[in-house]
Amino acid sequence: MDRGKAGSKLHVLTDAAGLPLVVGVSGANLHDGHALIPLVTGIPVVRSRRGPRRRKPDKLRADKAYDSEDLRRFLRDRGIAHRIARKGIESSEKLGRHRWKVERTMAWLGGYRRITIRYERNSHNFLGFLTLAAALTCWKKLAT
């Protein structure tokens, strides 16, 4: 555990193509699992041509940092199929097929100067710039 680590972590929830849906910021000394519940509850409503609006994904893939029985129960209660690598049992290589999309999204967000180095002391300002970078990334990818 690296409890005294200074800085911040970026958390990104993407769709299957790698477009950022929800972004979040937490302290670097906090466990990654604490960020999953706010990210899942912050998923925007998706309008469909037929039927009701969708508010939850079908599947969620996460790495070993999010391995917790509480998080698995949270996802199960909401009807979200999860694929989280278990610590000490499974290797994370199977998730590597899907993990590169999230890494690519993080690289897209890292291309903005305000996100690469955190200049803002206020976390709300930094989250605002991160949300703006995610919106610009979506706009660029969807406009092509």
Per-residue pLDDT reduced to its tens digit, 71-122 = 999 999 988 888 887 777 766 566 666 778 888 888 888 888 777 777 777 8
CA 54, 59, 65, 66 torsion-angle sign: positive
Q: Which residue has the higher pLDDT, 66 or 136?
A: 136
Q: Which residue has the higher pLDDT, 6 or 2?
A: 6
- pLDDT at position 91 is 63
In one-letter notation, the amino acid at residue 105 is: T
Q: What angle do CA 88, 28, 11 make, to 5 degrees?
A: 75
Average pLDDT on 5-31 reads 85
pLDDT per residue over 40-63, tens digit each? 888 877 777 777 777 777 888 887
For the chain, which domains are there? Answer: 8-134 (3.30.420)
The CA distance from 15 to 60, in Å, is 9
Encoded tokens for 18 = 């790698």
pLDDT over 60 at 1, yes or no: no
- pLDDT at position 139 is 93
Nearest to residue 134, comparing CAs of 10, 37, 28?
10
pTM assigned to the model:
0.78
- pLDDT at position 95 is 60
Cα→Cα distances 19→14, 53, 72, 124, 144, Å: 5, 19, 24, 22, 13
